Structure 1
Amino acid sequence: MNPDLIVLADTIHTMDGHMGDSHQAVAVRDGVITAVGSRAEAQDWAHDGTRVVDLGSATLTPGLVDCHIHPVFGLDLTIGVDLSSAATLEEVCALLQFESENDGGWLRGWGLNPNAFGAVPLHRSVLDAVSGDKPALIRLFDGHSALANSRALDVAGIRGRHDFEQASEVVCDADGVPTGLLLEAAAMELVQRHIPQESFDERKARLAALLEDFARAGLTGGHIMDHSEESALLFRALEIDGGLPLRLRSAPWCMPGTDESEWKELARTVGTGGRRWSVEAIKLFVDGTVDNGTAWLYEPDAYGESTAPFWPRPEEYSAAVRYFASRGIPTATHAIGDAGVEHVLTALESLPGTVPADVLRRTVHRIEHIETVPDGLVERFRSAGVVASMQPTHCTHYSAADHSDNWSTRLGAERADRAWRCRDLREAGVTLGIGSDWPIAPFEPLPIIADAQLRRRSGHPGQEPIAPAQGLTAYQALEGYTSHAAKAAGLWDVSGSISVGKRADFTAFELDPLTTDPDELAASAVLGTFVDGEIQFMLERLA
């Protein structure tokens, strides 16, 4: 066997489906697992050239994979002041005032939670009061909307409503005057294109630091739900500089208004990449978000909004899915509202008969977010073989058990009670990948694993849980980052468990995620990560 690495830990959870197994050692050669067994057995595996890493009382699991992140796109969303901690309008204004007084150029901010505004409408006048002569653009937490001040609207030449190829909107008042609220990408881009851009080297340095933070948090991989030419250039540059500390699987966007010629160009990017990054799927959107009124619901929200699909002609979305599926290309579709989720399921259910059976069997299709759905749609996930990809902290950070938050208020009690049905999907036999959607929510996986169980924000024991029956078991939550994350990417044959023949990607925990109280787990340390049997991060006391 002659392993080049042996990792020892008092507890190893293989996540291969055999929960009763007891292992304390794993052997690796050339980045692949060659043996799993006891400490005593490991003594027979070692030879003169074997490196032995003894993690002592730690717990070792397959490497954690975030099933939904935006590291490159997030560079644009996280410029300026972080407003995610602001709970009131006064706090928002104070942070913006400080930023405006201490930074030149544009006033920028991100992570704005509309709940902080209370009953006050989102309006440019709020920014005008703190921005002075500077143009300002503030991104809301959902990533699908922004608030611009009067100066920014003037710079962008926005003086009224605009027509778009997708469901985007320059929100205007009854007199047709822009309020400053911009909904969805095309509308935000009207202002975004006028903002001075960072240099490539600046962005590369920020991305490198972010990926190192991902690794220190315990991640060994991530499913990136966007991709661009710049993404490829950045990943190549980082690999030349020394490599990526985790595996990255990207999915470029297919947007409304495109046709087969553009779909063909997207398809050509699939399979490209480097040592630890690759383009492996296509990302689509069928709706927006509940919070800004652009989700696609069966019935309007409390403000008469969220009634339209992101694709003005949703049959064109279905045609795009068929195009990629017939070529064996996985798709991942953003669908939040019940009508949106149903449309995606219907499109995927229509593939048999039009796509060869062998192509369907080897291609994984998934739906992202799935925030509110009735019982009938839960069962259809299983029968259609569709993967659910969900973010527990969207629930625990931005909604409330008493339905006083913006998301719940818009939906009403009946639909809000169907919030993020993680447990129901699991009980129905659906593969459930878990992620953060960073920068929409924090990326640290341990608090997310805890929140998935608690259905409230970890570290806040006084908070009432939100639909507590939807809480996952500790094992299910860990599966969402390991075995189910691998299945969600169609990679179960090579990753997702500590099994002979699979990739040697591991995460080492200070505490056992299967037996530790979730609040305690969320506050504990990640001791290290391995990718391809190479240490990417290790606490100094263990190095």
Structure 2
Amino acid sequence: MTVGALTFINGRVFTGASETAFASAFRIVDGLVDWVGDAADVVESDAVDLGGRTVLPGLLDSHTHPALLAGTAAAVECFPPAITRIDELVETLGRHAATVSGPDAWVLGRGFDDTKFPGGRMPTASDLDRIETDRPVLVWRCDAHSAVCNTRALEIAGITASTPDPDGARFERDVDGRPNGVLTEIAAVEAVAAFIPAPSRDEQIDAIVIIGEELSSRGIVAVCDLLSSRIDRPLETFRAAAARGLRTRVALYPGWDPAEPLADLVADDREGQVRIAGVKVVLDGAYSNRTAWVHEAYPDSCDHGLRLVDDADVLAAGDWARRNGVQLAVHAMGDRALDRVVELFEEQEPWLDGIPSVRIEHATIVSDAYLARLRSARMAFGIATHTVFFFAEYDGYEKALRVEQVPDAYPIARLYAGLEALALSSDRPATAWSGADDVMLSVEAAVRRRTYDGAEFGAEAAITVPQALLLYTSRAALLSPLSGVGSLTPGLDGSFAVLDRDVFSVPADEIAAVRVAETWIRGERVFVR
């Protein structure tokens, strides 16, 4: 339904302008917000009556992976809470294998979390060999940094006892030194995944359109894809999806590959509904499997995690971003990785106006001192972080964090007060939970600071519902060049979500049950539940 001018009345409209900015009516003209105010001032007889329902600005997911989803559309989901045992993983992959045709076809899955398995045991090739021995099987771990494959997949990739580990990664081995199918960190995974036949371009385009429809069902109208190079020609492919019906605004951040440096951009690459917004460097691993790069060894170990790229590559990516007028996004979870980002860039001059030149992705451990260092730097920094991580992956964090680190782990209240360019986000599908891009799940975790099993996690870092929603709307819009979205303000996109319950008044433990009833993008209703 598309109309040149539409007025909406009798809503509880959270405009996103501030924590307390509410209205009861607004008007959209030619896709843009024209007026926001009081329903009592509306004279139109054909106004759309919202029936007292709560309205939010269209939501932004500032760190997610639609390209990864499109490139692995053939993978079956193996996320918690549905799968919490290795036998359940094997059974799910086995059922999926029966639907995969062709003697050489790969059986793929994604999303398992070994920390939730009895004893925290990682599955191995011997487990997956129960599914198939003639065809290759590979399943990505929930962080998307690691995976497990069967013996046949190792054979196809040519990985044997004499194969050296890739830089910044490991082929895990049994007691006799033979690869056991566990692929720790991206380079090890890619050594096997490179042999998986890519979906056709048409299949990828169709998958992206479907992903856009899923995003609309969450009220999400704009996303940042933080590793869009998971598919070939991402800009061209996403724009083809837009021509085929994708309505979501998409900011693309291809990964930096020193072996194949990115070509310089032209002006059109940085404009429009789908645009190149930056470049991403993955500096370290993840806390949930102890591969984040840390100063002090993980509890009961001598392990400091993994550093995945050296300074020269990070700086080269930064030079490319500066030259092309886009952002540098750095994946940094461990405290040592976070320190290194600041050490490399704090004295550099920012190259972008209005948004941070350097985004830090995830930023697990942020102390008062570190936040003060970010604020005092010459460089303009921003952060995309999460609450769904500690909610979903508590089992891993409980074993990876030292007790004294917990107050500094995802300290959202501290970040909210001290850093303007800040967003909450899902990291889907690299998050150990089914439906990790459900914004209300993250909002409840931000408000309650409780994990999936009810454990308290840093209660002092809790924020309010309006604050959490700002980190998915107007505050999130300050982090990236997704211009025109984030608030219901005259001149901006007429994009908004209508909720089935009032998220501002439901009990805190019911926030995650709130659903999006309708989503509108630029004055057009694109989703109705």
Identify whether the pair has TM-score above 0.5, normalized to the shorter chain. yes
The answer to which of 108-117 and 158-167 deviates more is 158-167
Partner of 2:192: 191
Partner of 2:84: 87
Letter in 1 for 2:247: P
Maintained 8 Å contact 2:145/2:184:
yes
Work out the CA distance in 1 between the residues paired with 2:114 and 2:305: 20
- Can you give the 5+ residue segments of structure 1 that lack an aligned partner in the other structure? 400-404
Letter in 2 for 1:393: V
Work out the CA distance in 2 between the residues paired with 1:143 and 1:324: 25
Partner of 1:248: 250
Q: Secondary structure at the match of 2:91?
A: helix
- Tell me: CA distance 1:269–1:251, structure 2 relative to 1, closer, same or farther (3 Å): farther
- Tell me: CA distance 1:109–1:3, structure 2 relative to 1, closer, same or farther (3 Å): closer
Deviation, 1:509, is 1.5
Q: Secondary structure at the match of 1:334?
A: strand
Deviation, 1:522, is 1.7
Letter in 2 for 1:6: T
| Structure 1 residue 371 corresponds to structure 2 residue 369 | no
Letter in 2 for 1:158: I
Partner of 2:296: 299
| Structure 1 residue 390 corresponds to structure 2 residue 392 | no
Equivalent residue runs for 1:358-507 within 5 Å: 359=352, 363-384=356-377, 385-399=380-394, 405-441=395-431, 442-457=436-451, 463-490=454-481, 494-507=484-497
Q: Secondary structure at the match of 1:254?
A: coil
Maintained 8 Å contact 1:220/1:531:
yes
Work out the CA distance in 1 between the residues paired with 2:169 and 2:108: 21
Letter in 1 for 2:513: A
Partner of 1:32: 32
Partner of 1:159: 160
Equivalent residue runs for 1:172-321 within 5 Å: 172-173=173-174, 175-228=176-229, 229-241=232-244, 243-257=245-259, 262-263=261-262, 265=263, 267-268=264-265, 271-272=268-269, 275-302=272-299, 303-311=301-309, 313-321=310-318
Work out the CA distance in 2 between the residues paired with 1:390 and 1:271: 29
- Note the aligned Cα RMSD (angstroms): 2.7
- Tell me: CA distance 1:100–1:246, structure 2 relative to 1, closer, same or farther (3 Å): closer
- Tell me: CA distance 1:350–1:256, structure 2 relative to 1, closer, same or farther (3 Å): farther
- Tell me: CA distance 1:470–1:309, structure 2 relative to 1, closer, same or farther (3 Å): same
Maintained 8 Å contact 2:251/2:481:
no
Partner of 1:23: 23
Maintained 8 Å contact 1:70/1:226:
yes
TM-score of the superposed pair, with normalisation by structure 1? 0.86
The answer to which of 123-132 and 8-17 deviates more is 123-132
- Tell me: CA distance 1:216–1:362, structure 2 relative to 1, closer, same or farther (3 Å): closer
Q: Secondary structure at the match of 2:505?
A: coil
Percent sequence identity over aligned pairs = 26
Q: C-alpha offsets along residues 81-103 of structure 1, whole Å, 9 cap, x if unaligned?
A: 32212112232233234334554
Deviation, 1:386, is 1.7
Deviation, 1:437, is 0.7
Deviation, 1:329, is 1.8
The answer to which of 99-108 and 339-348 deviates more is 99-108
Q: Secondary structure at the match of 2:228?
A: coil
Deviation, 1:464, is 2.0
Letter in 2 for 1:537: F
Q: Secondary structure at the match of 1:291?
A: helix
The answer to which of 77-86 and 246-255 deviates more is 77-86
Partner of 1:62: 57
Partner of 1:340: 337
TM-score of the superposed pair, with normalisation by structure 2? 0.89
Deviation, 1:377, is 1.4
Partner of 2:125: 124
Work out the CA distance in 1 between the residues paired with 2:324 and 2:247: 31
- Tell me: CA distance 1:275–1:386, structure 2 relative to 1, closer, same or farther (3 Å): closer
Deviation, 1:369, is 0.7
- Can you give the 5+ residue segments of structure 2 that lack an aligned partner in the other structure? none
Deviation, 1:18, is 6.7
4+ residue runs over 6 A deviation: none
Work out the CA distance in 2 between the residues paired with 1:238 and 1:361: 29
Work out the CA distance in 1 between the residues paired with 2:258 and 2:405: 28
Deviation, 1:171, is 2.5
Maintained 8 Å contact 2:284/2:308:
yes
Partner of 2:42: 42
- Tell me: CA distance 1:342–1:42, structure 2 relative to 1, closer, same or farther (3 Å): same
Q: C-alpha offsets along residues 238-292 of structure 1, whole Å, 9 cap, x if unaligned?
A: 2332x3222111111113456xxx25x1x41675177521111222211111233
Partner of 1:146: 147
Q: Secondary structure at the match of 1:12?
A: strand
Maintained 8 Å contact 2:277/2:481:
no
Higher relative contact order (CA 8 A, sep 6+): 2
Q: Secondary structure at the match of 2:491?
A: coil
Query: Could you tell me which of 44, 47, 52 is aligned with 2:47?
Result: 52
